[in-house]
Amino acid sequence: MRKIHILIFLVLNCAVSFSQETKKIDIVEGRNFSKDEDKYPGAAIFSKDNLGQVQFRHEGVDLWCDLAIYYQTENRIKAYGNIFFQQGDSIKMNSEYIEYEGDTKLAIARDKVVLRNNSTTLNTEELRFDRNIQEAYYDTFGTVKDSVNTLTSNKGRYYLSLKKYEFKSDVKVVSPDQTINSARMDYYSESKRVYMYGPSTVTGEDYKFYCERGFYDTYSENGYGLKNTRIDYNNRIIYGDSLYFDKTREFASATNNIKVIDTVNKGVVKGHYAEVYKAKDSVFVTKRAVAISLVEKDSLYIHGDTLMVTGKENARIIRAFHKARLFKTDLSGKCDSIHHTQANGITQMIKDPILWSGENQMTGDSIHLISSLETEKLDSLKVINNAFIIQKDSLSEDGYNQIKGKDLFGKFIDNELRVVDIVKNAELIYYLWNDKNEFIGIDKRVCGKIQFTLQDNQIDEVTSYIDVDGNIFPDDQLPVNSRKFRGFIWRGDERMNTVNDIFDEEDNIELVKIHGVDNPIDPDTPDEKAEEENRDLKIEEKKKDNSISSQTPGSKTITTLKKDVSGQKQSEP
């Protein structure tokens, strides 16, 4: 008894499998019937009549046409004229010609092909629809439209279950708010989101976003790029290894190797993380942040743990916070923070500032560098309260030239500090030498004002004014403890000689790993390269093995058959 049950089960199972594999295409409406064994051996020919079109059905698909060549033994159809192909309630296709094979469930439509679902319409000249995997693909130019976007490409594929389009070769998306051009793109019709691969550009009303791998939401206008990214935004060009952009928030950010170029003021800000706020007209940069301004063919670098650039064009304000530094040829400095105002050309060094001009070390409560608004060259220098200048004497072993007073005022000529005035309670210690480099003595004096000039960043001439009191002391008559003013601190080892010296050990950070550069960013593409190779292989195998393609009639045959058919296309049922 048990054996009988097993036998019955096997027989039924085989019958079901055989039935599933060989389920025939049903003729719903044959209309006019004929045969032509010379032209179509073994085929039945059906054509429409006054009552309507020819109709076929196969496993959830209905097909209407004006004329059909039906190969019942091979379970396939060639259909011509006003074709309407429908799968369920959502997939509808029109064309002038279609081949359909029941065994493989592969349809090939040609000539004015229109594929529609509930949200998009695809137009192309040839389309292959594989019902087994629910995918449609084309190698001719195609256009996809939905409620927001119009997309065009030379090659495309539609995944019905995911409601996803994959476009290749010269992809373009046009909508009222932006235009996207890409080498390759994945587009989700419901969410209106795109995943871009290869050189891609998103152009909006007031921005232009470029990347070679990225994501963009065309509905909310936000996205990110992961490779060779750039955005032109609010008179600024932003580069970075990774870049995020949000049109609604008027916000952009960049990570790793970022560069922000001010196209109006020709300034550059670099770092490893940046945020740009359009409404506030501001840029925020951290992680090895540096602002670079061109001053008469010589760049001025400003560095800090954090940089902020705010203000409208031609009125920018640069703020560097915490461990701020600046560097320019023959000029460098350190302080807690730096504040540069473009409108008045003043760069303020705030809290514990120190400035080196050549070999001259200058300190005070605050230091101001003033640039000319016309030429943008450095014009003057102010050291406010407790001004103190120290210069290592070049000929003595441990001697230091020193000038101090309440305030210091300096004048730049051709971007070099040339004339300096120390005013109020001015004091001087200066080592004197003759033309033969023979030591004369140490000049120590106090007065109301001291002026000195510099030549090649060395103190050249010193002049004292107002109630001058002092003397020139021989070396053995001035005690060592009298050769330095109160508050003397020599910090020559901190002087920055190259632009790289503005950074310290804390600035040598490990960059954040950017995910997605080498892996798929589309969540429905787990292994992009393998999937693409398998897909292409599958297409080639089907082209070789599919008998439909080899028996497709030429254009002359299609034209002749169309002439034999008259009447209008049946409306959609």
pLDDT at res. 400: 93
Q: Average pLDDT in the 348-376 region? A: 89
Q: Measured between alpha carbons, how far is 537 from 546 in angstroms, rounded to an integer?
A: 14
All domains of the chain in start order, with CATH: 23-104+546-573 (2.60.450), 353-484 (2.60.450)
Task: Determine the Cα–Cα distance for residues 208 and 178; give it in Å rounded to an integer.
Answer: 9
Please tell me the predicted confidence (pLDDT) of residue 230: 93
pLDDT at 413: 85
Of 130-134, 388-392, 475-479, the one with minimum mean pLDDT is 475-479
Indicate if the pLDDT at residue 562 is higher than 70: no
Given this model, what pLDDT does residue 374 score? 80
Share of the chain above pLDDT 90, in %: 58
pLDDT at 535: 54
Q: What is the pLDDT of residue 293?
A: 83
Average pLDDT over the chain, rounded to whole?
84
Q: CB-based contacts of 290: which residues, under 8 Å, 6+ apart? A: 269, 270, 271, 301, 302, 303, 307, 502
Place of tokens 């009447």: 567
Q: Is the pLDDT of residue 9 over 60?
A: no
Where in 520-570 does DSSP place strands (E)? none
pLDDT for residue 564 is more than 50: no
Burial 115-153 (b: 16+ CB within 10 A, else e): bbbeebebbbbbbbbbbeeebbbbbeebebbbeebebbb
Please report which confidence band the pLDDT of residue 8 belongs to, taking 50, 70 and 90 as the band edges. very low
Task: Compute the half-sphere exposure of residue 397: CA atoms within 13 Å on the CB side of its CA.
Answer: 2
Residues 6+ apart with CB under 8 A from 556: none
Q: Which two tokens stand for residue 474?
A: 């021989």
| Lowest-confidence region among 177-181, 474-478, 496-500, 547-551 | 547-551
CA atoms within 13 A on the CB side of 31: 19
| Arithmetic mean of pLDDT, 29-44 | 93
Considering only residues 316 and 66, tell me which one the structure prediction assigns the higher pLDDT.
66
Average pLDDT over residues 475-487: 89
Copy the structure tokens of residue 500: 């790289």
pLDDT band at 102 (very low <50, low <70, confident <90, very high): very high
Name the 3-class secondary structure at 513. coil
What is the H or E stretch that residue 547 is in? helix 547-550
SS3 content of the chain, % helix, strand, coil (to 5): 10, 55, 35
Q: Which pLDDT band holds residue 377 (cuts at 50, 70, 90)?
A: confident
Question: Residue 21: what pLDDT?
Answer: 55
Residue 463 pLDDT > 70: yes
Compute the average pLDDT of residues 272-297. 87
269 pLDDT band (50/70/90 cuts)? very high
Residue 154, helix vs strand vs coil: coil
Tell me: the pLDDT tens digits for 163-188?
999 998 899 999 988 999 999 999 99
Give the separation between CA 415 and CA 85, rounded to whole angstroms. 78
Residue 570 has pLDDT above 60, yes or no: no
Residue 482: pLDDT above 70? yes
pLDDT confidence of residue 296: 62
Kindly state the tokens that stand for 554: 């030429």
Which pLDDT band holds residue 51 (cuts at 50, 70, 90)? very high
The whole-number average pLDDT for the span 527-551 is: 46
Q: How confident is the model at residue 288 (pLDDT cuts 50, 70, 90)?
A: very high
pLDDT at residue number 181: 95
* Residue 462: band (very low, low, confident or very high) from pLDDT cuts 50, 70, 90: confident
Q: What is the DSSP letter of 52?
A: B
In the predicted model, is pLDDT for residue 545 greater than 60?
A: no
**What three-state secondary structure class fits 134?**
coil
Provide mean pLDDT across the span 462-488: 89
Which whole number is the average pLDDT over 392-417?
A: 88
Q: Is the pLDDT of residue 551 over 80?
A: no
